[in-house]
Every structure is written in structure tokens, then in C-alpha cells.
Structure 1
Amino acid sequence: MERYVLEDNVISESNIGQKVYISRLSLTPSEKRLPFMFQRQQFSLIVSFVMTIYKSQE
């Protein structure tokens, strides 16, 4: 199942600890110019990182 679905826990403020499942998407181009069809599978994830910097006030 790990090849097709990711299971993880939410770490944001509103839903901490809630389990989420992210499935793989099948992407097929709509171009008809190509003499063959191909398909790509990927997880719909965007990696992000947030950091808060507090500036010291003098």
C-alpha cells in the first residue's frame, strides 16, 4: 500500500494528530501530436518550510 498511498499525521495547529492519506495521481498528457501515450504517477505534495524570526529590539 505504501507505493500508492502515503499515511501521515497533521502537525498544524487546527488538526494536530489527525491521520491523513495522500494517494498517487496518474498524469496523462492531453497532447494528440505524439504517436504514443505515456502515463506518469506522482504524489501531489509540495514541500514547504516556515521559520519565524524574532528580531531583538534595543
Structure 2
Amino acid sequence: MHKKKATSFSKKKGQLPTKICAQCGLPFEWRKRWERNWAEVRYCSDRCRRIHHLTHKR
């Protein structure tokens, strides 16, 4: 038998932490791939991250 991997959030999908995207302003939920660096996540997608960096070049 295969055991399921334990996640750091033992909550249901609707109860996961959320943040507001710094580019588009829409809310997004915690994802497993952001488990280690959730505190640094600012954008909901790679697209928003790229657009933000393109429009805010120095």
C-alpha cells in the first residue's frame, strides 16, 4: 500500500492561506510547490511575475 505524503497544511482546500497578487490584485491560495518559501511568494503566476518585472525596470 502507498501512503499519502503529509502536507504542512492539514486543512481542506477552502481553508488554505491566501495572499493578494502584487501585480493583478487577485487573491490566490497556498500551493504545495510554495511550501518552503510561502513567506516570499508575491505573485499568483509566472505571468504576473514577468509583467511586474518588465513594467518596473529601473
Q: TM-score range, shorter-chain basis? A: under 0.3
More contact order relative to length (CA 8 Å, sep ≥ 6): 2
TM-score (norm 1): 0.25
Whose strand proportion is higher, 1 or 2?
Answer: 1
Whose helix proportion is higher, 1 or 2?
Answer: 2
Choose 1 or 2 for highest CA Rg: 1
